[in-house]
Structure 1
Amino acid sequence: MVEIFRTNVVNKNKAKQIVDAVHSNFERYKVNFDLEDCDRILRVESNNGRLDVFKILQFLKCQGLEAEVLPD
């Protein structure tokens, strides 16, 4: 399962910090940013097919980010 989030991340250093933090807290998720996209998207993929969107959004908020799920 893959979810795409619109974020307010604007630089590569912050994106790397977030990726590292997500990997540390959600070991089964693969994460990457596309900062060149106008929505500065964060892709989160689950290795086991299940992804807890609510927990991801809460975690990102605690990291000081604004994020929302992009519709399909």
Structure 2
Amino acid sequence: MIFVFKTSVKTKKQIKAFKPQIDNILLKGKWNFDLDDCDKILRIESEENVVREIQKLLNIHHFYCEELD
């Protein structure tokens, strides 16, 4: 499955703060940010539905995170 999120993450330095935690959630998945996009897109490929975990993780780090349709 592919999940796409609109976020408020702006820099690679911010991503580094929670990268190990995303890697831990997505043991078999892939993920990346498009920081050039106006919506600061986080794209995830995962066999499992990880929407709630990802939203919770980014919220803990004080970032906005909304799944897009």
Query: TM-score normalised by the shorter chain: which range applies?
Result: 0.7 to 0.9
Residue of structure 1 in register with 2:43 after alignment: 43
| RMSD, aligned CA | 1.6
What stretches of structure 2 of length at least 5 have no aligned partner? none
Q: Shift in Å at residue 41 of structure 1? A: 0.4
Residue of structure 1 in register with 2:9 after alignment: 9
Which of structures 1 and 2 has the larger relative contact order (alpha carbons within 8 angstroms, sep 6+)? 2
State the alpha-carbon separation in 2 of the partners of residues 31 and 19 from structure 1. 10
Code of the aligned partner of 1:67: C
> Alignment partner of 1:5: what SS?
strand
| Deviation readout 1:19-51 (Å, 9 max, x if unpaired) | 3330034322211100000100001111xx222
Equivalent pairs counted in the alignment come to: 69
What stretches of structure 1 of length at least 5 have no aligned partner? none
> Alignment partner of 1:65: what SS?
coil
Code of the aligned partner of 1:14: Q
> Contact 1:19–1:31 (CA<8 Å) still a contact in 2?
no
